[in-house]
Amino acid sequence: MIIALLCGVCFSAHGQIYKYVDPVTGAVEYLNYDKGGGLRMDSVDTLSEIPIASPVSCNAACEKSRATRIQRTDATANTINKRWPGACRKLDAGHWSCVPRVGMNVREHAEITGLRRVGFTEDASGKVDRWAAGGCRVLVAGDKISSVSC
């Protein structure tokens, strides 16, 4: 009886899928949670049957916002390259590939380097945060990067 009950519970498990369309680029994401503005899909829908919206055109305010973001990203990458030559490489307009370097402020440069906090270690000398991006692993003491391994 218990085995039959457990099998019934296992077969009834299901999850929700939400479709999110980026209002600026028109990019479509399917997530298992609603990050705001997501469309909850029915259980009969499949990813291939759901029509994908055409990309939203960018008006003047959108273009101005995009240009401001590109200028800010370019300025940040150029500032990094002045202090750590060769740390950032331009891919295309507003897109850079930046490698973390010892001495960088992780809070200021996490976005452009792609660093995400993955945990911490603690010993007699104090707490050290562990961050990672791509193939790089970074140790951070306070807000400053103290070690980089790529």
Residue 49 has pLDDT above 90, yes or no: no
Domain span including residue 117: 86-149
Question: CA distances (Å), 75 to each of 2, 30, 89, 109, in order?
Answer: 64, 33, 13, 12
Is residue 4 a part of any domain in this protein?
no
Is residue 125 a part of any domain in this protein?
yes
Q: What is the tally of structural domains in the chain?
A: 1
Residue 144 has pLDDT above 80, yes or no: yes
pLDDT digits 0-9 by tens, 54-72? 555 667 777 888 888 889 8
Residue 102 has pLDDT above 90, yes or no: yes
Is residue 75 a part of any domain in this protein?
no
Is residue 101 a part of any domain in this protein?
yes
Is residue 76 a part of any domain in this protein?
no
